[in-house]
């Protein structure tokens, strides 16, 4: 069976309010352990042999790393300008149907979902309807549909009514799988935590150098930085001397954690600088804004010494990285000749999770034995 998909991002929700976002980025496009949430959805669909996927978004996709662009190169991306999301979705459906799709999956993000596609398709065939919609355990309708590829009038009616109505009788399929509403910063944190703990199929983007600790390619950790499992440090991120990353914390790509700052049970979004000597606890931070999970508020920080955005200019980053490597390579070469090996046997994930919080270790003291230590500040993970 030829199954294709349309994924809608940042469409107007049923309550006609603006899409939930953090630092002006819709949650569906916010990074979660190395990739935007919608990318994880696309990867899950591709694993289930969805032949072709078209993403229609009202919001431009944020700057992506080179490897992320390579991962989504087989996906068609369309930015629907001027609030033309539904017209663009209808055109995408017609294109997929014309290319031979027998069944077309329609998902609006909104919520992040993972499910057994074969089960949904079998229910659609058993229902003998032109469209089948997923419903949750409470019977509430979800924005997950399967529409028969030859029924263009049915699809047109569905899109013109913003997924609220179908032209003919719609079948139902009881959703069984993983679901995260992605409506608040708390949901975004939960999605990241579940990924680190293996509660969903999301795989952190990077190398698992110890049980529960993932480091992205090009990440730089000072030898006295502490990273306690479970935790994630993304591509080209920097964690400086005596900084601590702990308790399911996530530092996304090109973020920077300065000297002595502790990040505990928090997510730092891409291209974000966190100043020195701070305690960032139970928060989601992006650009110049902090969303507190405990207080349910989002505030803007005007002092660039505490929090600021980092320019995503590729040329500037390359020159900076090249200069750092040139300065450190000779020094580390001689250190490597005379310094004893500091490698430790990896501990079990359960023991790492139960380790004392890095907040209990004064910033000026050496890292605990369970901490992740790079051989040098400019070590690059391949």
CATH number for the domain that contains residue 157: 3.90.550.10
Where is the domain boundary, 180, 195, 215?
180
174 & 97 share domain: yes
CA distances from 112 to 41, 44, 181, 205, 364 (A): 7, 11, 6, 18, 41
Does residue 146 form part of some domain?
A: yes
41 & 173 share domain: yes
Does residue 190 form part of some domain?
A: no
Structure tokens at 341: 């090996």
Does residue 81 form part of some domain?
A: yes
According to DSSP, residue 12 is labeled -
CA distances from 281 to 50, 213, 291 (A): 39, 19, 10
163 & 223 share domain: no
Residue 26 near residue 17, CB atoms below 8 Å: no
Structure tokens at 244: 């601590």
Residue 163 near residue 206, CB atoms below 8 Å: no
Does residue 136 form part of some domain?
A: yes
Return d(Cα 83, Cα 268) in angstroms, integer.
30
117 & 167 share domain: yes
Q: Write out the chain's pLDDT in tens, 382 residues.
A: 899 999 999 644 444 444 466 656 789 999 999 999 999 999 999 999 998 999 999 887 766 555 666 676 678 989 887 679 999 999 999 999 999 999 999 999 989 999 999 999 999 999 999 999 999 999 999 999 999 999 999 999 999 999 999 999 999 999 999 999 999 999 999 999 999 999 999 999 999 999 999 999 999 999 999 999 999 999 999 999 999 999 999 999 999 999 999 999 999 999 999 999 999 999 999 989 999 999 999 999 999 999 999 988 644 444 444 444 444 444 444 344 344 434 444 445 555 455 554 444 433 334 433 444 433 445 556 6
Does residue 133 form part of some domain?
A: yes
224 & 266 share domain: yes
Task: Give me the number of domains the chain comprises.
Answer: 2
Specify the pLDDT at position 66. Answer: 58
170 & 229 share domain: no
**For residue 129, which of 90, 163, 168 has the smallest C-alpha distance?**
168
> Which letter, b or e, does each residue of 10-46 get, where b requires 16 or more Cβ atoms within 10 Å of its Cβ?
bbeeeeeeebbbbbebbbbbbbbbbbbbbbbbbbbbb
171 & 255 share domain: no
CATH number for the domain that contains residue 288: 2.160.10
Specify the pLDDT at position 331. Answer: 40
Give SS3 for 363: coil
The residues near 233 (Cβ < 8 Å, ≥ 6 apart) are 206, 214, 215, 216, 219, 221, 227, 239, 245, 251
Structure tokens at 111: 């919520």
Specify the pLDDT at position 287. Answer: 81
**For residue 197, which of 68, 345, 30, 33 has the smallest C-alpha distance?**
33
Does residue 368 form part of some domain?
A: no
Does residue 201 form part of some domain?
A: no
Strand partners, 250: 232, 267
Specify the pLDDT at position 20. Answer: 60
Where is the domain boundary, 130, 162, 180?
180
175 & 319 share domain: no
113 & 37 share domain: yes
158 & 229 share domain: no
Strand partners, 145: 106, 133
44 & 118 share domain: yes
231 & 280 share domain: yes
Question: How far, rounded to the nearest angstrom, does the alpha carbon of residue 132 sit from its chain's CA centroid?
Answer: 28
Specify the pLDDT at position 5. Answer: 97
Structure tokens at 288: 């110049």
Specify the pLDDT at position 146. Answer: 98
Q: Which domain holds residue 230?
A: 207-360
Does residue 380 form part of some domain?
A: no
**For residue 36, which of 59, 4, 11 has the smallest C-alpha distance?**
59
Torsion 363-368-373-375 (CA) sign? positive
């Amino acid at each position: 069976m030829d199954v294709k998909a349309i994924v809608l991002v940042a469409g107007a929700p049923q309550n006609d309010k603006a899409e939930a976002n953090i630092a002006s980025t819709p949650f569906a496009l916010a990074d979660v352990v190395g990739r935007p949430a919608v990318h994880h959805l696309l990867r899950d669909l591709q694993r289930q042999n969805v032949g072709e996927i078209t993403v229609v978004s009202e919001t431009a996709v944020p700057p992506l790393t080179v490897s992320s662009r390579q991962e989504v190169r087989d996906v068609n991306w369309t930015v629907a300008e001027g609030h033309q999301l539904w017209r663009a979705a209808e055109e995408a459906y017609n294109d997929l149907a014309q290319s031979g799709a027998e069944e077309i999956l329609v998902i609006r993000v909104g919520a992040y979902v993972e499910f057994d596609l074969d089960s949904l398709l079998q229910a659609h065939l058993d229902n003998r309807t032109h469209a089948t919609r997923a419903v949750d355990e409470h019977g509430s309708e979800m924005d997950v549909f399967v529409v028969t590829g030859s029924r263009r009038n049915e699809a047109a009616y569905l899109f013109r009514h913003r997924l609220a109505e179908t032209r003919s009788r719609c079948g139902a399929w009881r959703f069984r799988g993983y679901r995260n509403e992605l409506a608040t910063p708390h949901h975004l944190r939960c999605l990241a935590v579940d990924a680190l703990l293996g509660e969903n199929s999301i795989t952190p983007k990077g190398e698992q150098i110890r049980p529960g600790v993932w480091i992205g390619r090009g990440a730089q950790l000072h030898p006295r930085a502490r990273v306690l499992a479970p935790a994630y440090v993304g591509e080209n991120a920097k964690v400086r001397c005596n900084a601590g990353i702990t308790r399911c914390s996530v530092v996304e790509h090109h973020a920077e954690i300065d000297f002595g700052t502790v990040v505990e049970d928090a997510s730092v979004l891409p291209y974000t600088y966190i100043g020195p000597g701070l305690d960032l606890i139970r928060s989601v931070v992006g650009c110049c804004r902090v969303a507190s999970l405990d207080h349910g508020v989002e505030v803007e920080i005007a002092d660039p010494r505490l929090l600021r955005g980092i320019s995503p200019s590729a040329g500037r980053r390359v020159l900076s990285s090249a200069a750092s490597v040139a300065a450190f390579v000779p020094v580390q070469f001689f250190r490597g000749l005379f310094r004893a090996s500091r490698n430790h046997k990896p501990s079990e994930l359960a023991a790492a999770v139960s380790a004392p919080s890095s907040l209990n270790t004064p910033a000026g003291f050496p890292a605990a034995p369970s901490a992740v230590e790079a051989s040098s500040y400019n070590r690059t993970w391949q």
